Chain A
Amino acid sequence: MQKSLHIDPGKCTGCVQCELACSFENEGVFNTAKSRIKVFTFHQEGRFVPYTCTQCDEAWCMQACPVDAIVINAKTGSKDIIEDRCVGCKVCTIACPFGTVNYNQDTGKVIKCDLCGGDPACASACPTAAITYIDADTTGLDRMRAWAAKTDNTAQASA
């Protein structure tokens, strides 16, 4: 059974431990600006929403890549950037309808969540279990995924 990140915004306190853990794991620094997961704050509503790549089936980023630099990780199902291949054209950053592929100006390559290869640092760091890494079919990502599917340019007329 493949696992995925389950995010329960109701449990998030906005402590940004996830952002710190992510940037340290992936960039070697504690710098929330370099995190692949981001906590959005809604002051008016008093809510926090952690947000990152859903590893959507449509994989818009992967489809749009002109040089085959985004591939599916056979173990985790995540869509991973192959750094040596990425030319930094940024087409994936505009193709991803979730806005979860970002360009890193320091390296000239794009970055996105790769589930840390199967042991996501954000989930380990979250003190309130707002972010957990669990069996994919119980994560309730369906709503997000339904939304991703709406980005499709096509309508299936008959099959």
Chain B
Amino acid sequence: MNYVIVGAGPAGVIAAETLRRMDAGASIQLIGDEPEPPYSRMAIPYCLMGRVAEDGTYLRKSDRHFDGLNIEVINDRVLSVSAAAASVALGSGTTISYDRLLVATGSTPISPPIEGMDLPGVHPCWTLADYRNIAARADKGAKVVLMGAGFIGCIILEALAARGVDLTVVELENRMVPRMMNEASGGLIKRWCEQRGVRVLTSTRVEGITGGNPLAVSLSNGETLIANLVISATGVAPNTQFLEGSNVDIDPGILVNECLESSVANLFAAGDVAQGRDFSTGDYTIQAIQPTAVDHGRVAASNMTSGHEQLHRGSLNMNVLDTMGLVSTSFGAWEGVSGGESAELNAPDRFKYLNLQFHDDVLVGANTLGHINHIGVMRGLIQTGLHLGVWKDRLLDNPLCLMEAYVAATQGVGLTTKALD
């Protein structure tokens, strides 16, 4: 069996390792176009903070790891796929044929259609190459404008703040992390950052960038900011261009079924490029998070192996974010479900917030802010569909007793035999 994987990020690497475990004798080729050993882009902010060097982002630490597993890592770019010929064409001119193909090509940042996005000193923060460009300009005291305060933008914010730059954040929507936190908690994150010297402009748009170093950044509020560095974190688009003409259904990610197989036989997709099943909604969407990339890589690989079928019930959408020491999380259906109930605890003075969403006596979603202990239990409660019984009412009274509720429900304290069914 000949497996070819396009994309050497987390989804591709986990898939390659899973394939090796399940099919000892197969040929496995892992093709990645970045001139680095396979690495994790989500570790880049920690490089910027100086917590690790570049090699701290590598997915596997031994340079013999892939050789040792007899996985051939090819540094090249796939230009096109021919499903009819079951082959991929590489930038170097070579053609590689496959029995099963996995597309794990992730996504690429998109720039807003404004003047100046191609100027030197204007960069996304997506690759190790971007990291080097940013590190070269983000010195202590440098004036930096960050476009976008979504999840990725806020993680970059943390790294930039740690470098001691003079930071202004510009966000189009009315709050920070609008797709992860509600207004109450998103507002607290903004206030927290402002109190620590970061300027946060919400409901504001960058209209154009001109100049050299410094750059001049004009805003929709009429202001012009001077900047040594502009970082754009304004969204991404899945890398599917090379699939043109291959008949793979795309919307805008690659559409997959519960086996993570695309509309074309023997062609699978995983990670940020795939529209996989969401645990909470059952819809097929792009989640663009590391744990989902890992889930996909593992499940796709298992289905690529002959004689195996492993259905993907859906990954739970979950995020954890640290903005200058304030930790926030979101899990699943944090906006609530129809007919559900919720519990909220809002202590804005202490920067603490908790929002639990229930359907019957099952936790289905949550947001937290300012809580760092035992937070994983929310994933456990949601994903196992644990019936909380009497503990649901106790949680409505006091959402803080979440861990007690969980321990009790799994150990049978004050409960209901339903707990573990």
Q: Are the C-beta atoms of B372 and A93 separated by less than 8 Å?
A: yes
Is B97 close to A, CB under 8 A? no
Bound form: Cα–Cα A66–B289 in Å: 11
A60-103: CB near B (< 8 Å → 1, else 0) gives 10011011100000000000000001011111111111111111
Q: Which B76-95 residues have C-beta < 8 A from chain A? A: none
Q: Are the C-beta atoms of B320 and A93 separated by less than 8 Å?
A: yes
Chain A residue at minimum C-beta to C-beta distance from B294: A63
Bound form: Cα–Cα A150–B383 in Å: 8
Q: Are the C-beta atoms of B372 and A67 separated by less than 8 Å?
A: no
Bound form: Cα–Cα A121–B378 in Å: 28
Q: Are the C-beta atoms of A88 and B51 separated by less than 8 Å?
A: yes
Is A108 close to B, CB under 8 A? yes
- Chain B residues with CB under 8 A of A146: 420
- Chain B residues with CB under 8 A of A156: 309-310
A86 nearest CB across to chain B (Å): 9
Q: Are the C-beta atoms of B379 and A95 separated by less than 8 Å?
A: yes
**Interface core residue of B318, B327, B375, B404 (most chain A CB under 10 Å):** B375
Is B325 close to A, CB under 8 A? yes
Q: Are the C-beta atoms of B61 and A91 separated by less than 8 Å?
A: no
| In-complex Cβ contact of B414 among A44, A97, A102 (8 A) | A44
- Which segment of B52-60, B114-122, B181-189, B234-242 sits at the interface? B52-60
Is A151 close to B, CB under 8 A? yes
Q: Are the C-beta atoms of B42 and A155 separated by less than 8 Å?
A: no
- Chain B residues with CB under 8 A of A9: 411
- Which segment of A13-21, A23-31, A45-53, A123-131 sits at the interface? A45-53
Is B1 close to A, CB under 8 A? no
**Interface core residue of A93, A101, A158, A159 (most chain B CB under 10 Å):** A93
Bound form: Cα–Cα A144–B406 in Å: 12
Q: Are the C-beta atoms of B410 and A147 separated by less than 8 Å?
A: yes
Is B279 close to A, CB under 8 A? yes
Q: Are the C-beta atoms of B407 and A49 separated by less than 8 Å?
A: yes
**Interface core residue of B46, B298, B407 (most chain A CB under 10 Å):** B407
Bound form: Cα–Cα A154–B258 in Å: 9
Chain A residue at minimum C-beta to C-beta distance from B310: A154
- Chain A residues with CB under 8 A of B176: none
Chain A binding site: helix, strand, loop or mixed by DSSP? mixed
Q: Which B394-413 residues have C-beta < 8 A from chain A? A: 403-404, 406-408, 410-411, 413
CB-CB under 8 A for A90 and B320, given A42-B408, A105-B372: yes
A123 nearest CB across to chain B (Å): 19
Q: Are the C-beta atoms of A100 and B376 separated by less than 8 Å?
A: yes
- Chain B residues with CB under 8 A of A49: 407-408, 411, 413
Is A157 close to B, CB under 8 A? yes
Bound form: Cα–Cα A52–B248 in Å: 46
| In-complex Cβ contact of A66 among B42, B299, B379 (8 A) | B42
Q: Are the C-beta atoms of B313 and A154 separated by less than 8 Å?
A: yes
Total count of chain A residues near the partner, CB < 8 A: 48
Q: Are the C-beta atoms of B57 and A67 separated by less than 8 Å?
A: yes
Q: Which B194-231 residues have C-beta < 8 A from chain A? A: none
Bound form: Cα–Cα A88–B47 in Å: 11
- Chain A residues with CB under 8 A of B383: 97, 150-151, 153
Total count of chain B residues near the partner, CB < 8 A: 61
**Interface core residue of A9, A102, A153 (most chain B CB under 10 Å):** A153
Q: Are the C-beta atoms of A66 and B313 separated by less than 8 Å?
A: no
- Chain A residues with CB under 8 A of B58: 67-68
Q: Are the C-beta atoms of A87 and B51 separated by less than 8 Å?
A: yes
- Chain B residues with CB under 8 A of A40: 403-404, 407-408
- Chain A residues with CB under 8 A of B312: 153-154
- Chain A residues with CB under 8 A of B295: 153
Q: Are the C-beta atoms of A154 and B299 separated by less than 8 Å?
A: yes
Q: Are the C-beta atoms of A103 and B329 separated by less than 8 Å?
A: no
Chain A residue at minimum C-beta to C-beta distance from B385: A150
Q: Are the C-beta atoms of A91 and B291 separated by less than 8 Å?
A: yes
Q: Which A115-159 residues have C-beta < 8 A from chain B? A: 143-144, 146-147, 150-151, 153-159
Q: List 26 A-B contacts (CB under 8 A).
A: A45-B408, A45-B414, A49-B407, A60-B376, A63-B14, A63-B294, A67-B52, A67-B58, A68-B58, A88-B51, A89-B43, A90-B320, A90-B322, A93-B372, A93-B375, A96-B376, A96-B379, A98-B380, A100-B374, A100-B376, A102-B373, A143-B420, A146-B420, A147-B384, A147-B420, A151-B384
- Further pairs besides A68-B58, A89-B320, A153-B316: 19, Cβ < 8 Å: A40-B404, A49-B413, A64-B291, A66-B40, A66-B43, A66-B59, A66-B290, A67-B40, A67-B58, A91-B290, A97-B379, A99-B373, A99-B406, A102-B373, A103-B327, A153-B279, A153-B295, A156-B309, A156-B310
| Chain A contact residues, CB within 8 Å of chain B | 9, 38, 40, 42, 44-45, 47, 49, 51, 60, 63-64, 66-68, 85, 87-103, 105, 108, 143-144, 146-147, 150-151, 153-159
Q: Lowest 4 A-B CB distances belong to which pairs?
A: A97-B380, A99-B377, A99-B374, A87-B46
